Amino acid sequence: MLSILTTLQARGQVTAPELAEACEVSVRTIYRDIDALAASGVPVYADRGAEGGYRLLDGYRVRLNGLSQSEAETLFLAGLPGPAAALGLDAAMIAAQNKLMAALPVHLRRDASRMQERFHLDAPGWFGEAEEPKHLRTIAGAVLRGTLIKIRYQSWRAEKRRRLAPLGLVLKGGSWYFAGQVDASVRTYRVARVLDCTALDDGFDRPADFDLAAYWQAATLRLEAEMHPNVAIVRLSPFGVKLLDALSQPYIKARTEIEEASDADGWRIARVPVGKTSWHAAAELLRLGPEAEVLEPADLRDKMAELTQGMAARYRAARKTQGRRISPQPTKHS
């Protein structure tokens, strides 16, 4: 019943099936618990009709209580100062955490505070920096208000101007992206590539079936598939198998097929997703050095030979030049 109350308070109007899913019980149990809440004096109201559901009386608030130790710790672990500051919400986050700390029972405060002291989120990948895009807060404000924006955007191909509906923001590997709807199409935009942004007063109707997390997952998979549309047949040494596993992106690793059988030298055949062009594919496979041999396709094998021969010639020439520049050291004779 406490879960029902907190769900209603957080989400407003909720149907019985939605409550049943959130609380992991049957719809019949929800009906029974709603009746029990109403009988105990909690102002729960039912709105009939196709768009109806249960809701609490406007202004009614549930006191924060009943938190377990792990729940309290998790709430403080969710306070991410970096992204909050980038969105301009750092002061609000600190204030909310102070209120939460004051509302917690005394015996839970120390453990909740300990989570902040001992866990830290570093969003960017290794050797990268978090972006601080100029127009992030403007876009975030429009996302929260549900209003349109007008942007000048630098894509890979050209500079574009768009008037769109921002549906949600995503922080990925230290970079901010947003899902923007133009007409009936939703596309992904990188906030750092927004050259100009103007927040408009015009509102928009958010698609009722739009799920940001589901959209982002599908968009990410689609992008990775577009970047690796081809397959290379590669012969790998035992160490090459380990290198491929260590250096490959998750998308490539999950879709690489390595034969169980090995030849007399212990090498195995693998089918590896690779980039659109032979240049991109070769750049990815060159990381494996002499521990990999491309068998197919022929153009990729030729590109690997061209690049490795060119590199070998370059280093041989550099070694000869360096040798001529070094003067022989005089020897001492007794």
Q: How far is CA 199 from the centre of its chain?
A: 25
At residue 331, the pLDDT reads 54
What length is written for the chain?
A: 334
At residue 40, the pLDDT reads 83
Q: pLDDT tens track of the chain, all 334 residues?
A: 878 887 887 778 889 999 998 888 999 999 999 998 888 888 888 888 777 889 888 777 666 555 566 666 666 656 566 677 777 766 666 666 676 676 666 666 677 667 667 766 676 777 667 677 889 999 999 998 999 999 999 988 899 999 999 999 998 888 899 999 998 899 999 999 999 999 999 999 999 899 999 999 999 989 888 889 999 999 999 999 999 999 998 889 999 999 999 999 999 999 999 998 999 999 999 999 999 999 999 999 999 999 999 999 998 887 777 666 655 555 555 4
Contact partners, residue 98, CB within 8 Å, separation at least 6: none
Contact partners, residue 121, CB within 8 Å, separation at least 6: 80, 82
At residue 49, the pLDDT reads 76
At residue 334, the pLDDT reads 43
Give the domains, in start order, of the chain with CATH numbers. Answer: 2-56 (1.10.10.10), 69-118 (no CATH), 136-217 (2.30.30.140), 228-320 (3.30.70)
Q: Nearest to residue 190, comparing CAs of 203, 180, 177?
A: 177
Q: Nearest to residue 183, comparing CAs of 142, 148, 139?
A: 148
Contact 78, 120 (CB under 8 A): no
At residue 46, the pLDDT reads 86
Q: Nearest to residue 66, comparing CAs of 31, 39, 100, 104?
A: 104
Alpha-carbon separation of residue 242 from 11, 34, 80, 253 (angstroms): 48, 57, 35, 11
